[in-house]
Structure 1
Amino acid sequence: MATLSRRRVIQLAGGFALTGVAGRWLTLPEAWAEPVGAPADELSDFLEISRKLTQRDELDEHLAGALVLASTLALEGFGERLARLKALFDQRPALLERSPLAFGDDFTDQETTARQVLGGWYTGVVGSGEQAIYVTYLNALANRLVADKLVPPSFSYGPCGSWRHAP
């Protein structure tokens, strides 16, 4: 397995950000097009868990790969924590039916991991503080959810502050 540097993940994240700005997938440079670092079983587990948490079947596998790589760098022990979360969901699928997402005192580590996975998908950022890695913006689920109303998402049309006044 190839070792992946923080610089490489930032390059990959930059590539995803650029493709998001274009609004569609562009052809990535050859060096980025090859799969790197994330083991297939870890990516598969990440996608399975992500589909359960987001309740969406149509998650982008390329973005999932970037999120796994960023999570591995930004979040200590991410692979092991992801495996424990998968095992918990396999044993107790009813945990996903709770609203808000709460697993109880016995499973705080798994709940934290689930929130980090969701945070990566919805904000496009993995980790926090100096360990945070920006993966995507437009392809983040939070922005895709509002894409039919705000294009590009979260930008104001008109002079600064015009959003304050009723249309």
Structure 2
Amino acid sequence: MSTNTPQTPPSSSFAPARRQFIFGTAVLATFGVAGFVGGMSARHSAWAQGSTVSDADFAAFMHLSQYLTGKTTLDVEIARAIFAGLHDEDANVATQVAQINDFVARSKTPANALQAALDSTQPALAGLPKRIMPAWYLGVVGSGKKARTVAYEQALMYPPIADVIVMPSYARGAPGYWAQPPHLSHS
């Protein structure tokens, strides 16, 4: 017994309407990502090209950062992000950096005594080292709603303890490593 039912052609998985949809979605996604990344890099390049921040200002910031941290080598990209964040908070940060560098050169103040010296003699400048040091050691510029993360594992607080303490959010072993009881020796 054969039934004569009208046979419909098998539907193509890539019918023209579906192809157009997929193509349109891909194009839209590409332009969306390109626009987002382009906007990000335009913002970064505008700062990097010195939109009110000169190379001399950045060099002065690096000099002060090296003096405050006691590190002769600091990551330049992190330094740029820190300086940009500080500059976003206060447009006069470059002037303050230069004034602190001048103060240190004139007074020959050691880094461990700088904060006390600024607090007593230059209170208008005393807040800047308190913003620079947490940025380098914690990897965060600013506080509260204006806080911006500029470094994580590169933050200066991690290398000294890297051989003893695992950074937060990184697993210390295989999943569930803590579930097995320790093996006790019965000697």
- Which residue among 45, 62, 65 is the counterpart of 1:50? 65
Q: Which structure ranks higher in relative contact order (CA pairs < 8 Å, sequence separation ≥ 6)? A: 1
| Number of equivalences | 132
Q: CA deviation at 1:72?
A: 0.5
Aligned ranges 1:143-158 → 2 under 5 Å: 143-151=158-166, 153-155=167-169, 157=172
- Which residue among 116, 127, 132 is the counterpart of 1:102? 116
Deviation by residue 1:19-59 (Cα, 9 ceiling, x = unmatched): xxxxxxxxxxxx86x94434211110011111111111011
Deviation by residue 1:62-111 (Cα, 9 ceiling, x = unmatched): 21111111110123521222122111111112242428x42232222322
Partner of 2:98, secondary structure, is helix
Of structures 1 and 2, the larger Rg is shown by 2
Partner of 2:105, secondary structure, is helix
Structure 2 residues not aligned, in runs of 5+ = 1-35, 179-187
Structure 1 residues not aligned, in runs of 5+ = 1-6, 13-30, 163-167
Cα RMSD (Å): 3.0
Partner of 2:80, secondary structure, is helix
CA contact (8 A) 1:95 1:102 kept: no
- Which residue among 79, 85, 92 is the counterpart of 1:77? 92
- Distance, in Å, in 1 between the alignment partners of 2:124 and 2:157 is 24
CA contact (8 A) 2:140 2:149 kept: yes
Q: CA deviation at 1:138?
A: 1.0
Deviation by residue 1:104-137 (Cα, 9 ceiling, x = unmatched): 3222232211121111111111111222222111
- After TM superposition, which residue ranges in structure 1, 4 or more long, deviate above 4 angstroms? none
Partner of 2:56: 41
Q: 1:75 to 1:150 in 2, by over 3 A?
A: farther
Q: Is structure 2 residue 151 aligned with structure 1 residue 115? A: no
Q: Is structure 2 residue 139 aligned with structure 1 residue 133? A: no
Q: 1:88 to 1:58 in 2, by over 3 A?
A: same
Partner of 1:61: 76
What is the letter of the counterpart of residue 168 of structure 2? S
Q: Percent identity?
A: 22
Partner of 1:83, secondary structure, is helix
- Distance, in Å, in 2 between the alignment partners of 1:50 and 1:114 is 9
Question: When the two structures are superposed, what TM-score results if normalisation uses the length of structure 1?
Answer: 0.65
CA contact (8 A) 1:123 1:142 kept: yes
Question: When the two structures are superposed, what TM-score results if normalisation uses the length of structure 2?
Answer: 0.59
